Amino acid sequence: MTGGILPRGPGTLTPDTLTADPYNAQTPAVALAEWITPVDAFFVRAHFAVPRLEPGRWRLRLGGLVGTPCEVRYDELPALGTRELDVVLECAGNGRGRMTPPPPGLPWGERAVGCARFGGVPFRAVAARARPDPRAVEFVFTGADVGDEHGRRVAFERSLPLEVALHPDTLLATHMNGEPLAPVHGAPVRLVVPGRFGVADVKWLVGARAVAEPFTGVFQTDEYVYRDARGGTADGPVTTLRVKSLITSPEPDAVLALGTAVTVRGWAWSGGVPVRLVQVRADDDAWHRARLDRPSGPYAWTGWSLRWTPRRTGHHRLQARASDAHGETQPLRAPWNAQGYGCNAAAGVDVLVRRRSGRPGEAGQPD
């Protein structure tokens, strides 16, 4: 684990663009080696154009099934009690590109993920002003981003069960890694729901309404659902993060020296459930237990590492799989579903092992 948050500034890494309009981009592989992912390198997921909202004019309107409909201004938030949480943010489609056959949607690799320090105000402190009616079962959150979806003009909206919306860790986030939110990350205020896929974290938040029946909007029941799921995955809504791991070192296609120990390392996370075990293997050899670091919080990722000494030259595949405190373990192959969500197959990286040549600066020569 590295020692702190990387600053923004000249030369900072930028995400790898998948689409320009709307803007969607993956975290660069080198940035994922950091304990806290730099803001400028953090992946971006947008369905529509990025709205521009000024903090001084921002309002959150609370309505629906509440006793006191009201508005909250940006400058009123700090007085309601701020807090910070380190949170893994992962797109529900992360890893879709590993599924066979490829489902429709953005062809994410394994880098639509990052861990950031979000600061803000618990939503329940704001909701208390509106006094939710006892008949309310959900809060529906509305973003300022609007576009055409399924043949109609819609705002991006998602709902949360009342107990999740009012959990003390569900934040109206105003800061990311100690700085005010950037426009692409939902400025000036976004929702952050630790332990859930990023689709729950409505960006550019402008509205929250309590409802007496489960919400059935486009992004709740048409999109972001497991449909025609196989391999043990049940059909239903996309909700909590699945246990997962990532190998950050060695890098893909690294050339390693025969007989020289290297440290295989990476991250593991789950939906707010502690990671209890990470195992690593080379090719089809036995699994070995990795050493786990202490995470920086209940929703942060857990660092892991294992020393490995290659004993054979040639191409090798290193794999890692994580298990959480509920007994869930990553499958070796990606479970398939029609929209490509929740891919949590064991992490893998391919490396090449050569004999050492004995000449300075050379990793070795192939047999």
Low-confidence spans in the chain with pLDDT less than 70:
1-12, 232, 357-367
Its pTM stands at 0.92
Question: How much is the pLDDT for 151?
Answer: 86
Compute the C-alpha angle 180/186/189, nearest 5°: 65
pLDDT (tens digit per residue) in 219-255: 999 999 999 988 767 788 999 999 999 999 999 999 9
Assigned token pair, 61:
């309107």
Query: Cβ(170)–Cβ(123) under 8 Å?
Result: yes
Residue 333, beta-bridge partner list: none
Q: Looking at residue 362, what is its pLDDT?
A: 39
pLDDT of residue 103: 92
Greatest Cα pair distance in the chain:
77
What pLDDT, on a 0 to 100 scale, did the predictor assign at position 217? 95
Spatial contact of 36 and 117, defined as CB atoms under 8 Å apart:
yes
Residue labelled with tokens 């006892």 = 134
pLDDT score, position 232: 66
pLDDT tens-place string over residues 185-221: 999 999 999 999 999 999 999 999 999 999 999 999 9
- Strands 171-176 and 138-149 turn out to be unpaired
